[in-house]
Homo-oligomer: A and B are copies of this chain.
């Protein structure tokens, strides 16, 4: 039996599996629910939320893409395409940064803010369901 060499190792693996299960359950349900009802993926919502936070309540404040990359767990290329999707959907606007013309400034549109506000309750409900109580079966294993 090679898998029970040390108790510390077993605990670490148990912790990892618990994390995997919770993440899978939450991520899958978020993707499905937000996608069905609001046309947003989990990461799309996450980016919108960061934009709302960083832009503050006042509209029009712009955010650099490079700043987002530090908070959203996506590669730079994935983030670039995600923003392209959001822009295509009319939820954000891309504009050239004047002070550093390599950079891109993101502005949340009114539609983007509304979409976020509409989706937020569902997002929180899913988190309550999947993080609050004992975890259920994850997404992938229930499909088929």
Q: Which residues of A contact B (CB under 8 A)?
A: 1-3, 9, 12-13, 15-16, 19-24, 26, 28, 46, 49, 52-53, 57, 69-76, 78-79, 117, 120, 124, 127-128, 131-132, 137-141, 143-144
Q: With a CB–CB cut-off of 8 A, which chain B residues contact A124? A: 9, 12-13
Can you spell out 11 A-B residue pairs with CB atoms less than 8 angstroms apart? A3-B49, A3-B53, A9-B124, A12-B131, A16-B131, A20-B23, A71-B141, A74-B141, A75-B139, A75-B141, A75-B144
Main secondary structure of the interface of A (DSSP, over half): helix
Cβ of A127: which chain B residues have Cβ within 8 Å of it? Answer: 12-13, 15-16
B15 touches A131 (CB 8 A): yes
